[in-house]
Structure 1
Amino acid sequence: MDKAMRFLIIDDEPDFAEFVGDALDALGYEADICTDATDIGSVYSSKHALILLDLFMPGLDGIEVLRFLHDNNSHVSLIFMSGKDASVLYSAKELATEWKFPVLGTLQKPFSIGELDAVLSHFKPPQTDSARAAAQDFTAEDIDTAIREEQFTLAYQPQIRLSDHSVCGVEALIRWVRPDKGFTSPGDFIPFAEQHGLIDGINYLVARTAIEQLGRWNRDGHRFTVSINLSPASIADLDLPEKLTALTRHNGVDTSDVIVEVTETAVMSDAGRYMDILTRLRMKGFGLAIDDFGTGYSSLQQLVRLPFTELKIDQTFISHICEDSECETIATMATELAHRLGLTVVAEGVEDQASMDLIKAIGCDELQGFHCARPMPPDQLQTWLAESGFGTRHGSA
């Protein structure tokens, strides 16, 4: 870590604050300690890249500290600590997330150095303006060229049906490996493409490539679904149902084997705007998945009004489901709600056998995650299908 960059521990218990400071020192980090939160105005500065914040403190509690940071336009990374109600930790995390703070995690006191180290593994030092500019080393012309020259490719992550451990689908994930610069993250180029009016070209390329590949898999005797993620800008395209239908007909693919994924946050922000297109997609037989469920603020009324067929529980909850009772509760309630609405439930981000066993116990229908398979190009997926032991439906589309 940059020596000019420090962490700040805010905890009214001097002994525990010192323990955290010693633990950070042992892990190679430098930290300052504040045992009186009312001093936050004079103690906190731009040199602090991360605050480890106790919630229950006299004088000024952790939520008041958070409000101070928010009112002063800070977006410092946070770790919340508490020896009391775990649900309060979760609520504090939700509030901080709403206020756009990067939250690395929460720690229930007492915790070990190992637990602290595990949360700190998510820390990313803030970038300077010049570093951000250097990281974004592409232009609108570069993206336009990438679309025309088909530099964008797709990797496919298998989805496993829990009832029989068969491959029931794949999710198509976009990749950009530039000839001169190597891998560029979708988190960088997708927002840029949306801002510069280039996202429609990317979305059509994704849809065409995924549906063409699905047609090839069908002809090889495999029958499963392919899920494609589309930008909210494309979901607002009135011609989208016709465009996707034309692609399925050209490639001999059933519309029912193509699932369009839309994020909860995007759709629920203006459900009426998308109702036309989403309803017509369903009328033409396409599946509709609400993605990242649990990260937004869904209205139950909107969930009923929009014709979804699938609900994907966000990996934020699944990755901690075995050790966090709140995450398990949310996943369980989401599963029960979805089943009552006639939706298939997919758990995202399953990374170990214990998580797989638990999501099956609470009633999830399908899973995807590194525990079963990472995203892979089509040729590797073909090999994986033959060697993994997971079966697929057979027969022509």
Structure 2
Amino acid sequence: MHISKTDQINILIIDDETDMSEFVADAVTAIGHNAVAVSDADDFVRAYSTAFDIIILDLFMPKLDGIEIIRFLHENRSRASLILMSGKDKSILHSASELASERKMEVLGVLEKPFTIDQLEAVIGKFIPQKHRPQDPPSALPTEQGLRRGIEQREFFLAYQPQFDFKTGKIAGVEALLRWQHATRGLIHPGLFIPLAEQSGLINPLTEYVLEEAMAQMAKWRDYDITMSINVSPTTVVDLDMPEKLDDMIKARDIAPEKIIIELTETAIMENVSSYMDILTRLRMKNFNLSIDDFGTGYSSMQQLVRVPFNELKIDQSFIRQAITDRECQAVAQMSLSLAHGLNMHVVAEGIEDQSTYDWLKELGCEIGQGFLMSRPISPEEIEERFLS
């Protein structure tokens, strides 16, 4: 494959094993990129430059180990992407990757020694040059005033991601996902406006909008054997009248409460379980379903999990996406399934993107799956046309 000079990537390889560093440098050159290899801390300090696009780093180095180098890169505001490699404990690779990510450094992947040129090329292939990345100016970030105006102008809408029963292969439910179609900036990611809404006190009107829209849609689908999952902010769950409000909404639309699943994230709920116990328990008493979302990313203890009346557990997509290739992620997914079934909860796996992951989850006895393999979030009309007709 010929790579033009304008597409060549500058790569720094840091490894004290000369044979390995030469192998990686030769492979990088053969692919068509520029490579510089160093074998110790002194060479790294001399060779380091902001001109490098990618740094391939062996974690176990004398004098200056990989974690110290990550710290150095972070403190020097390096924009280089990382590829981490090691011939030792894979869990350390995983931890180092998490550390770099927490410091806002891009990790393209991890490589266990020995690896092939094809594996190296596949990870390098994930790199996107800075010039090709969308650069949003600070002014493009949503503001409280803009969010308030967006709510008033009804710029928000719901998309629905189908969920499928592993046993039948048929649609079992949908998850309602809030979207903001800004008048001039286009589609704004929820990760940018949901935290802003919670900080500014605007999350309640947004939640009310989601509930109203989702319930109205569910009323149209009441004759279908599907559920509606609705994400609710923890700030909403402190409203003691919430169970009655939801009960009134479904009765007005003739919707069975069993068809509504209220989702709350593990981290948010477990930070202060006692504050939510009253409301969550009463929601279950009114036959609403409760789902603990993003499970595995928080720190819930067994005691807390048993106390809260959830009857559904959603394994976070960060574990599902890597369940086939990453031993730690696979272990978390298996443990979550076993724990949920032991507590008489059914399990939803989100983030299924390939057939092998789907087959593995089905074999493990997971009940429900969602992900891009089956369908992206789509409009109600597409749901009806593709899955309900």
TM-score > 0.5, shorter chain as reference: yes
Partners in 2 of 1:206 and 1:45 — Cα distance? 49
- Worse-superposed segment, 294-303 or 367-376: 294-303
**Corresponding residue for residue 61 of structure 1:** 65
Shift of 1:269: 2.9
Shift of 1:381: 0.5
Select which of 184, 188, 196 maps to 1:184.
188
Residues 1:305 and 1:131: Cα distance change in structure 2 (over 3 Å): same
Shift of 1:37: 3.4
Partners in 2 of 1:36 and 1:364 — Cα distance? 48
Tell me the alpha carbon deviations over residues 97-152 of structure 1, each in whole angstroms, 9 at most, x when there is no partner: 5555543332212333443344455556679xx94434725433332222223221
**Corresponding residue for residue 211 of structure 2:** 207
Select which of 369, 383, 387 maps to 1:367.
369
Residue 154 (structure 2) pairs with residue 163 (structure 1): no
- Worse-superposed segment, 50-59 or 282-291: 50-59
Residues 1:101 and 1:302: Cα distance change in structure 2 (over 3 Å): farther
Partners in 2 of 1:356 and 1:252 — Cα distance? 35
Tell me the alpha carbon deviations over residues 267-306 of structure 1, each in whole angstroms, 9 at most, x when there is no partner: 2233333333323322322222111222233322221121
Residues 1:122 and 1:174: Cα distance change in structure 2 (over 3 Å): farther
- Correspondence 1:240-255 to 2 at 5 A: 240-255=242-257
**Corresponding residue for residue 380 of structure 2:** 378
Partners in 2 of 1:254 and 1:118 — Cα distance? 49
**Corresponding residue for residue 285 of structure 1:** 287
Partners in 2 of 1:67 and 1:367 — Cα distance? 38
Partners in 1 of 2:53 and 2:237 — Cα distance? 38
Residues 1:138 and 1:51: Cα distance change in structure 2 (over 3 Å): same
Select which of 85, 88, 93 maps to 1:89.
93
Residues 1:56 and 1:344: Cα distance change in structure 2 (over 3 Å): same
For the 8 Å contact 1:172–1:227, the answer to whether it is kept is yes
Q: Which amino acid aligns with 1:201?
A: P
- Correspondence 1:311-330 to 2 at 5 A: 311-330=313-332
Residues 1:245 and 1:60: Cα distance change in structure 2 (over 3 Å): same
- Correspondence 1:231-246 to 2 at 5 A: 231-246=233-248
Q: Which amino acid aligns with 2:194?
A: I
Partners in 2 of 1:87 and 1:196 — Cα distance? 39
Residues 1:106 and 1:73: Cα distance change in structure 2 (over 3 Å): same
Partners in 1 of 2:371 and 2:84 — Cα distance? 27
RMSD: 3.2
**Corresponding residue for residue 308 of structure 1:** 310
Tell me the alpha carbon deviations over residues 161-216 of structure 1, each in whole angstroms, 9 at most, x when there is no partner: 11222221111111222343322222222223233322222121111111110111
Shift of 1:217: 0.7
Tell me the alpha carbon deviations over residues 299-333 of structure 1, each in whole angstroms, 9 at most, x when there is no partner: 22221121111111122221222223332222111
Shift of 1:383: 0.1
Residues 1:293 and 1:74: Cα distance change in structure 2 (over 3 Å): farther
**Corresponding residue for residue 294 of structure 1:** 296
For the 8 Å contact 1:241–1:280, the answer to whether it is kept is yes
Output the TM-score relative to the length of structure 1: 0.84
Shift of 1:83: 1.9
- Worse-superposed segment, 345-354 or 61-70: 61-70
Structure 1: give runs of 5+ residues left out of the alignment: 388-397
Q: Which amino acid aligns with 1:364?
A: C
- Correspondence 1:29-178 to 2 at 5 A: 32-37=36-41, 44=48, 50-68=54-72, 77-97=81-101, 101-120=105-124, 123=127, 131-134=135-138, 136-178=140-182
Residues 1:99 and 1:138: Cα distance change in structure 2 (over 3 Å): closer
* 1:233 alignment partner, SS class: coil
**Corresponding residue for residue 395 of structure 1:** none
Output the TM-score relative to the length of structure 2: 0.85
Residues 1:28 and 1:213: Cα distance change in structure 2 (over 3 Å): farther
Whose RCO is larger (CA < 8 A, sep 6+)?
1
Partners in 2 of 1:86 and 1:169 — Cα distance? 37
For the 8 Å contact 1:255–1:285, the answer to whether it is kept is yes
**Corresponding residue for residue 256 of structure 1:** 258
